[in-house]
Amino acid sequence: MRRILGILFLSALFPAILWAHGSGTHVMGTVTEIAADHVVVQTPEDKTVTIHTTAKTAYRTTKEASTRDALQVGHRIVAEVTKDADGLTASEIRFSSVPPKPGAH
C-alpha cells in the first residue's frame, strides 16, 4: 500500500500521463471502465486513456500476483504498457489489494 501511495504522490508532483522506464512506458490513473479486452483509465491530468489487455497481461496487487477479476472500477493503477498498432497494450497492471471505495472515481 505504501508503495502505491508513494507512486501516486510522486505522480502528483510530476504531472505526466506516460513516462518511460526501461523498455516499457507507464500509465497511472483510476480505472473508469473494464471490458473484455481493455481498461479505461482517467489520469491525474483528467485525460482518458484506453489500455488494451491480452491473455499475457499480468495483474499484481501491492502484495502478490492477482487476477483480472480482482481489478475493479475505482482502483488506482500503474500499468506497464507498450505502444503498438492498436494503441497501448499492458504487459502488467498493478493495483492496491484494498478494494476501492464506492464512488471513488
The three-class DSSP label of residue 68 is helix
Q: How confident is the model at residue 17 (pLDDT cuts 50, 70, 90)?
A: very low
Q: What whole-number distance in Å separates Cα of residue 8 and Cα of residue 44?
A: 9
Q: Is-contact 27 43, C-beta < 8 A?
A: yes
Per DSSP, helices labelled H in the chain are 2-13
pLDDT, tens digit, 9 for 90 and up, residues 28-52: 999 999 999 999 999 999 999 999 9
Please determine, for residue 9, whether its predicted confidence score (pLDDT) is greater than 70. Answer: no
Q: How confident is the model at residue 14 (pLDDT cuts 50, 70, 90)?
A: very low
Residue ranges with strand state E in the chain: 18-21, 24-34, 38-42, 48-52, 58-60, 65-66, 76-84, 87-95
pTM of the entire predicted model: 0.73
Determine the distance from the C-alpha atom of residue 104 to the mean position of all C-alpha atoms in its chain, rounded to a whole number: 15
Q: Is-contact 72 100, C-beta < 8 A?
A: yes
Residues sharing a CB contact under 8 Å with residue 92, sequence separation 6 or more, in sequence order = 57, 58, 59, 60, 79, 80
- Residue with more model confidence, 102 or 37: 37
Please determine, for residue 55, whether its predicted confidence score (pLDDT) is greater than 70. Answer: yes
The domains located in the chain, with CATH, are 2-95 (2.40.50.140)
